[in-house]
Structure 1
Amino acid sequence: MQGAVVIEFGAPWCGHCRLAQPLLRDWLADEAGATHIKIEDGKGRPLGRSFGVTLWPTVIVLEDGRERARLVRPTRASDLDGLRAALDA
């Protein structure tokens, strides 16, 4: 995909994913130019493995198909600063 894409790997039953949702929701509201794709990951689902995902949630920022930043298990708003910087670059 062209442009900024935020891919979020996780599972609806994952406690870490549920705790991160308010942070991610608020952050994504400020990033209107990015396309957000939420992917349910799990055993037998190869897409997450192809991105090297081993823990949830994992958020990856792509720009024109190239990885610019990655964040695993955010717990504070400041954890998202690296993702924000990748989108602003």
Structure 2
Amino acid sequence: MPYTAQHLAQPPSRDEVDRLTGAAVVEFGTPWCGHCQRAQPLIEQALKDRADVAHIKVEDGPGQRLGRTFGVKLWPTLVFLKDGKEVARLVRPQGQQDVLDAVNTVSAPE
């Protein structure tokens, strides 16, 4: 599942995230966040043509527990997972290469 433009209507539970298999990126943010909007082209470009990396876009904020379980404090926060385990994290990514490097980290064979 390559880049996802819309936030999920219902976020997954932490248990569901922990049980993911393969490579995944969980993106925490909001549609109205300026930092999130500026990061979208970087994220989209990095995930373009990457069907091997799941992109889970979660709207974060008050009352949203998933972000708290990951210790999210700033948006966007990208948590890169391999088989449900965090292997990299980017907070407010500024450059294309940082996002590409993190995507390559989760998708690299062991």
TM-score under structure 2 normalisation?
A: 0.75
How far did 1:46 drift? 1.2
**1:21 and 2:40 matched:** yes
Gaps of 5+ in 1: none
Identity among equivalent pairs (%): 54
Aligned 8 A contact 1:69 1:82 in 2: no
**Aligned CA-pair RMSD:** 1.2
Quick one: which of 25, 36, 49 aligns to 1:6? 25
Gaps of 5+ in 2: 1-19
Show structure 1 runs of 4+ deviating over 4 A: none
Q: How many residues in Structure 1 have an aligned counterpart in Structure 2?
A: 89
1:18-42 deviation per Cα after TM superposition (whole angstroms, max 9, x unaligned):
0000110010114220111000000
Aligned 8 A contact 2:46 2:100 in 1: no
Structure with more strand by fraction? 1
How far did 1:81 drift? 4.1
TM-score under structure 1 normalisation?
A: 0.91
